Amino acid sequence: MDLLNAIILLLNYIFVPALTYGSQLALGAIFVTLIYGILRFANFATGDMMSFGTMFTILFTWYFQSIGISLGVLPTALLAIPFAVILMIGYMLLIDKFVFKYYRINKSPPVQLAMVSIGVMFVTQAVVRIIIGPSDRRFFDGEKFLIRAGEFKDMTGLNEGLAIKSTQVITIFVTVILVSTLFWFLNKTKTGKSMRAYSDNEDLALLSGIDPKKIVMVTWIIAGILATIGGALYGLDKSFKPFTYFNNMLPIFAAAIVGGIGNPFGAFLGGYVIAFSEILLTYAYKKFFMYVLPESMEPDSLVQLLSTDYKFAVSFSILVIVLLYRPSGIFKGKVL
């Protein structure tokens, strides 16, 4: 019984939150990795592009709420996402046309493109703040919990409750669908294959008649989809605040590099690696040991390896270690 309690405890406080957070990071990390693999630069505007997409989602959600459309138990935002995605893709293509294209055609070094992306970051951030403001916004509606902690306790008779928020389920569900579609697209369709070829060896790909314009456009379209959905899921689960999104860029980068930048599957797993290590290392295991160990051996302290203040520092330390020992990432090989 105690063991069961301990497992539920870990599920509730570590596994489910980490899986959700990991999915949100994974979407962002695939976004970073795609841009890096095909357009060949580190996109510092990642976080702000995600907040831009989320902003559209929120605006549409408000609009739908105001005219009385809702999805019942599901959040209205799910209905708003497709519209937001369309606008976001437009924004991405616009930015590419007016900003990035010039440097791509001139074959500028990646560093210069990264600098340009900082300019895009400033502009995007400003636009988001001017349109929707810098404050914290919640746009979740519908049924909040799938299983409440109390209900779970009554159902099973255990001491520990397991609460599953509907946003957590939605996040994981949407991520699985989106990522599997993406991998199917990259591995099975002609466009996907040509994207991989382009990422692997640009000159060879051009020689075999692949149209670079199409590749770049498709990349930005996928990036727009990933950025909007990843951002909206994060905002649904926690809340939307432009500054948090900017900060999320850092663990997202960490996830992409840990998984081997340029490798979408690696980035996908990298998101979970970062999320789980952040939560595992900063969780206080006292209660867990109270269930597992006999009474005489119960710990006095919190049994916490690092205080939660260092949550970000954990992922960055992992990144630094990976960069030092395996610069190409845990999941080796640059194959898009």
Interface residue with other proteins among 69, 73, 111, 177 (CB under 8 A) is 111
For the bound state, the minimum distance from the C-beta of residue 285 to other proteins, rounded and expressed in Å, comes to 14
Q: How many CB atoms lie within 10 A of CB 292?
A: 16
- 184 contributes a contact to other proteins by CB under 8 A: no
- 246 contributes a contact to other proteins by CB under 8 A: yes
- 330 contributes a contact to other proteins by CB under 8 A: no
Please count the residues of the chain: 336
For the bound state, the minimum distance from the C-beta of residue 54 to other proteins, rounded and expressed in Å, comes to 17
User: Which pair of structure tokens corresponds to residue 49?
Assistant: 């592009």
Q: What is the pattern of x (binds other proteins, CB under 8 A) and - over residues 37-66?
A: ----xx------------------------
Phi, psi of 240 (to 5 degrees): -100, 120
For the bound state, the minimum distance from the C-beta of residue 177 to other proteins, rounded and expressed in Å, comes to 30
CB neighbour class for 12 (10 Å; exposed up to 12, middle 13-18, buried from 19): middle
For 154, 216, 288, 301, the CA distances from 222, given in Å and listed in that order, are: 44, 10, 42, 48
- 333 contributes a contact to other proteins by CB under 8 A: no
Q: How many CB atoms lie within 10 A of CB 67?
A: 7
- 309 contributes a contact to other proteins by CB under 8 A: yes
Nearer to other proteins, 83 or 310 (CB): 310
For the bound state, the minimum distance from the C-beta of residue 120 to other proteins, rounded and expressed in Å, comes to 7
Of the candidates 260, 268, 254, the residue with the CA atom closest to the CA atom of residue 329: 260
Tokens 């397991």: give the residue.
162
User: Which pair of structure tokens corresponds to residue 20?
Assistant: 């959700």
- 69 contributes a contact to other proteins by CB under 8 A: no
Site residues for other proteins, 251-280, by CB under 8 A, read: 253-254, 257
Interface residue with other proteins among 15, 197, 316, 334 (CB under 8 A) is 316
Nearer to other proteins, 67 or 324 (CB): 324
DSSP state of 55: H
For the bound state, the minimum distance from the C-beta of residue 250 to other proteins, rounded and expressed in Å, comes to 6
For the bound state, the minimum distance from the C-beta of residue 117 to other proteins, rounded and expressed in Å, comes to 10
Alpha helices in the chain (DSSP H): 2-10, 16-34, 46-66, 77-95, 101-105, 110-132, 149-156, 166-188, 190-200, 202-207, 212-237, 242-258, 264-282, 286-292, 311-325
Classify the C-alpha dihedral 89-95-101-107 as positive or negative.
negative
Interface residue with other proteins among 35, 49, 55, 120 (CB under 8 A) is 120
- 310 contributes a contact to other proteins by CB under 8 A: yes
Nearer to other proteins, 37 or 161 (CB): 37
CA 282 to chain centre: 20
Only segment of 1-9, 125-133, 179-187, 229-237 that touches other proteins (CB under 8 A): 125-133
Only segment of 21-29, 197-205, 227-235, 315-323 that touches other proteins (CB under 8 A): 315-323
User: Which pair of structure tokens corresponds to residue 156?
Assistant: 């099973």
Which residues lie near other proteins (CB under 8 A)?
Answer: 41-42, 99, 102, 109-112, 114-116, 118-127, 129-130, 133-134, 246, 250, 253-254, 257, 305, 307, 309-310, 312-313, 316-317, 319-320, 323-325, 327
